[in-house]
Amino acid sequence: MQTTGISFLLGAYQGAVTNALEKMRRANIAARIWANDYRVWKSSPAEISNRLGWLHAPVETASNAGRIRASLETFTSGAIDDVVLLGMGGSSLSAEVFNAMLGSAPGFPRLQILDTTDPAVIGRTARMLNLEKTLFIVSSKSGKTLEILSLFLYFYNLADAAPGVAANEHFMFITDEGSPMLAQAWQLQLPYVFSNNPNIGGRYAALSLVGMIPAALMGISIETLLQNAMAVAGREKTDFFSGKGDSTGLLLGAALGTLAQYGRDKLTLVFPPAWRPFGDWLEQLIAESLGKEGKGIVPVLNEPPLETQVYGKDRIFVFFEDDPGRWDSRKTELATAGHPLLLLPVGDAYDLGGQMFLWEMATAVAGHLMGVNPFDQPDVEATKEHTSRMIALYRKTRVRPAAAPSLAAAGGDVYGEATGSDPACALQNFLAQAQDGAYVGLQVYLSPSRELDAALARLRAALTRRCKLAVTVGYGPRYLHSTGQLHKGDAGRGLFVQLTGADAADLPIPDDLGEAASTLTFGELKAAQAEADRQALLDQGRKVLRLHWRQDPTAAVNALAESLEP
């Protein structure tokens, strides 16, 4: 099957996908999506009718592109060197992709993303900034995200204490109408505040102000990005309303949703080097939108090419191709082994606008077929509630409750149902519980570095070869806003391995603006988030093993990988 350049090599699943398409044609699903019919997904409009603004975001934002640029001229004429975006999940991922794939134009400021509570990363960023020539963007849909508010308090007070810096002139808010951030902006007399369309969910907000303001600050042509998105949206409408019956998004969503129902729910994304950053945005869109009600699709990205025999019968492979005419033996091997393949052509980096809209539509269609609401996130609050309770208790008692390790070893401890004489044995015995269709989620609450990234890649490859399971890797707390919903909302076959460690240094979180008093640090917040998510997973009956390293976690991760390698 092929459409607008996308090739679908579905093998034994071709008939099932064709049947799903025919049912959607008869039910007029494409037209009903464009008509904002919430009944495509659920019988109630709750968290659907007020989340369909993404369908019209490219046109809406493009009509305001000139005003966006004009409002940012103060910062794009050499007045600042750095833009630091304080955001999590949908508030930061699109900007991160634009930055990685397009970068800043000559003469425009650099963009940095802070979507962490790791004190080492925060401190390193703070030390390298010239606060007189830095703009901070505080981006939060709800205006209540704990990590973002903590980062805001820290950097606002840092700027406020710097000689010659008027802090309020160095902060910009992007939030929704009705957000408590708007009241704070008024109180601080911030001159730069943007209210985004509240009918666009965070992970669908790339083509709204949330993604376009950071892009414009970097000198990226937001008009070109939006024109490409509008072109894809236009083709989607034309392909359906012309009587052809199928749009590219409908076909792509039909393949994803149908294959997931047949157990092919490990969506393995393979990118050419220039397009790899797109995977992080796509991961959140798919995982958080479709991982709920005991269902889900697990995005697998940045996985090294492995031997075909290590892949289970739960895989689907999507190849993003910048040279579509090229065929290689790897695709032949995968197709021969019975794995469904989707081959999707991509152009230059400005093709991002079109790809984002295409995948938003495909995800919405897949949600229809899977019977889930792709616009809510019902299990995200569980970790937040545990975190708030733990922080409140810590602030009151100054003591963080600590679970007793089930295994104490040289250099580290193991928490959870662990059997074995050392962490490596405990990990292997833990993974032996895997059911059919299982996957491993590495949840990393360690300070990121190139060396640690390499060690995690080695561990991941060793786990996949040893267990023949898909393995995902996510730094905490970032993954909580990306795959955290999936971990708690899917069918419950995930095996989660938390990697934690002591922070070499820590930073205080101010209790309030303009005050030095602090009753919580970023290190304590990060530790609370790790423990809170572990508890939230256990509450849902998930299997969790925590490995805590007192020293040199990179060496410890390499040692784990070595223990699993043949």
Residue type, 255: A
Is the pLDDT at 553 greater than 50, yes or no?
yes
Is the pLDDT at 326 greater than 90, yes or no?
no
**CA distances for 364 relative to 23, 175, 206, 381, angstroms:** 16, 24, 15, 22
pLDDT of 278: 98
pLDDT of 1: 42
User: What average pLDDT does range 364-369 have in this prediction?
Assistant: 98
CA angle 543, 549, 554 (to 5 degrees): 105
**CA–CA dist 325, 327 (Å, integer):** 7
pLDDT of 401: 72
Is the pLDDT at 240 greater than 70, yes or no?
no
Residue type, 367: G
User: What average pLDDT does range 133-161 have in this prediction?
Assistant: 97
Going along the chain from its start, the domains and CATH numbers come out as 2-54+225-370 (3.40.50.10490), 77-218 (3.40.50.10490), 380-564 (3.40.50.10490)
Own/partner pairs for 350-353, CB < 8 Å, 24+ apart? 350/102, 350/221, 350/224, 350/225, 350/228, 351/228, 352/97, 352/98, 352/101, 352/102, 352/225, 352/228, 352/278, 353/58, 353/207, 353/224, 353/225, 353/226, 353/227, 353/228, 353/229, 353/232
Selection from 416, 441, 448 nearest residue 429 by Cα: 416
Does residue 211 contact residue 321 with C-beta atoms inside 8 Å?
no
Is the pLDDT at 22 greater than 60, yes or no?
yes
3-state secondary structure of 186: helix
User: What average pLDDT does range 226-231 have in this prediction?
Assistant: 96
**CA–CA dist 484, 474 (Å, integer):** 10
- DSSP labels, 53-115: GGGGHHHHHHTTHHHHHHHTGGGSSSS-SEEEEE--GGGTHHHHHHHHHT-PPTTSPEEEEE-
| Portion of the chain with pLDDT greater than 70, in percent | 98
Calculate the average pLDDT of the chain.
94
User: What average pLDDT does range 169-174 have in this prediction?
Assistant: 97
**pTM, entire model:** 0.97
Is the pLDDT at 239 greater than 80, yes or no?
no
Which are the contacts of 531, defined by CB distance < 8 A and separation ≥ 6?
Answer: 386, 390, 403
Which are the contacts of 555, defined by CB distance < 8 A and separation ≥ 6?
Answer: none
Is the pLDDT at 155 greater than 60, yes or no?
yes
Is the pLDDT at 266 greater than 80, yes or no?
yes
pLDDT of 151: 98
What pLDDT, in 10s, does the model give residues 441-451?
999 999 999 99
User: What average pLDDT does range 348-363 have in this prediction?
Assistant: 97
Is the pLDDT at 508 greater than 90, yes or no?
yes
Rounded to 5, what percent of the chain is helix, strand, coil? 50, 15, 35
pLDDT of 290: 98
Beta bridge partners of 307: none
pLDDT of 2: 41
- DSSP labels, 387-420: HHHHHHHHHHHS----PPPSEEETTEEEESS--S
What pLDDT, in 10s, does the model give residues 396-414?
888 877 788 999 888 789 9
Confidence class for position 288, pLDDT limits 50, 70, 90: very high
pLDDT of 242: 60
Does residue 139 contact residue 205 with C-beta atoms inside 8 Å?
no
